[in-house]
Amino acid sequence: MKTIDEVLIRMDQIVSECKAGNSRVGYFAILYRHVTRRIKEGILKMEFEDNPRMEKLDVLFAGRFIDAYDLWKKGQKPTQSWMEAFEASKSSKHLVLQHLFLGINAHINLDLGISAAETVEKEPLEGIQKDFNQINSILAELVDGVKSNISKVSPVFGMLIPLAKGRDEMLLDFSIQLARDGAWKYAGEYYVANDRNFLIQDRDKNISKLAKKLINPGKFLAFIIKIVGFAEWKSVSKTMDQLDVVAQKVV
């Protein structure tokens, strides 16, 4: 893929595949398709510091999710961070927000830094930081909008918040801003690395550990999540449709 339009065509296909197959990977795919649409709109309106470069960044960034998804669908192994997210999608016991955060975790904490460094090639990395932050702002805005309206698909999700007060609970404390800062630091390390493959493998191990924390929040909160999960919509396709509506209102 070389253009954002090609990315959107493939994202439409993935969303359709997930709907047809009742795959919860579709929750993240729905959200990320809106991110891509918003970035395309921004490029057309010349909102970014370097709009052609932003398209290149978007194509590389989205391509890492798409490539990981395609590998997994073929029975091959993507990065472990994505593997955790994809394998978790087979289970109905996780909340919609867990599935969304598993995708965001892999995509920002691992993929974004790589994509930023590969976008600038030999140009100074600092030159892309403003547009790098813009992608995160767009994603954060969408996620905040979805979280604010999560009751549309998870009616009693709000009960988790007071019960988790004072606990080290990644599900509720997951911060895209903190992930962004870590991703930017990693972009700098990746940019100067002699052995980029080793750096990816090392980073992937750490990010997959974060994924495990999202999947397994501890016995007490796991029990609460189970209760909350009973009230969530059981239809994957209907949940995807509702997420689509919520995200559309945000953007």
User: Would residue 78 count as lying in a domain?
Assistant: yes
Containing domain of residue 39, as a range? 4-246
Min mean pLDDT across 15-29, 83-97, 101-115, 154-168 is at 154-168
Residue 168 has a pLDDT of 43
> Of 230, 214, 227, 241, which is closest to residue 18 (Cα–Cα)?
241
47-56, 76-85, 210-219: least confidently modelled range = 210-219
The more confidently predicted of residues 71 and 159 is 71
In a domain, 156, yes or no: yes
Convert the pLDDT of each residue in 33-51 to its tens digit: 999 999 999 999 999 999 9
pLDDT of residue 142: 86
Half-sphere exposure of 199 (CA within 13 A, CB side): 17
What percent of the chain is modeled with pLDDT above 70? 83
Share of the chain above pLDDT 90, in %: 63
Q: What is Dmax (Cα atoms) for the chain?
A: 51
pLDDT at position 150: 66
pLDDT band at 195 (very low <50, low <70, confident <90, very high): very high
pLDDT at 170 over 60: no
| pLDDT digit string, tens, across residues 52-75 | 999 999 999 999 999 999 999 999
Is residue 219 scored above 90 in pLDDT? no
Q: Give the pLDDT confidence score for residue 146 in this predicted structure.
A: 78
Q: Compute the mean pLDDT over every residue in the chain, rounded to the nearest whole number.
A: 87
Q: How many domains in the chain?
A: 1
Dihedral sign, Cα of residue 130, residue 111, residue 18, residue 228: negative
Residue 85's pLDDT is what? 98
- pLDDT confidence of residue 154: 67
Predicted confidence (pLDDT) at residue 203 exceeds the cutoff of 90: yes
Q: Quote the CA–CA distance of 236 and 15 in Å, as a whole number.
A: 11
Instruction: Examine residue 251 and state whether it is found in any structural domain, yes or no.
Output: no
Evaluate if residue 187 carries a pLDDT over 90.
yes
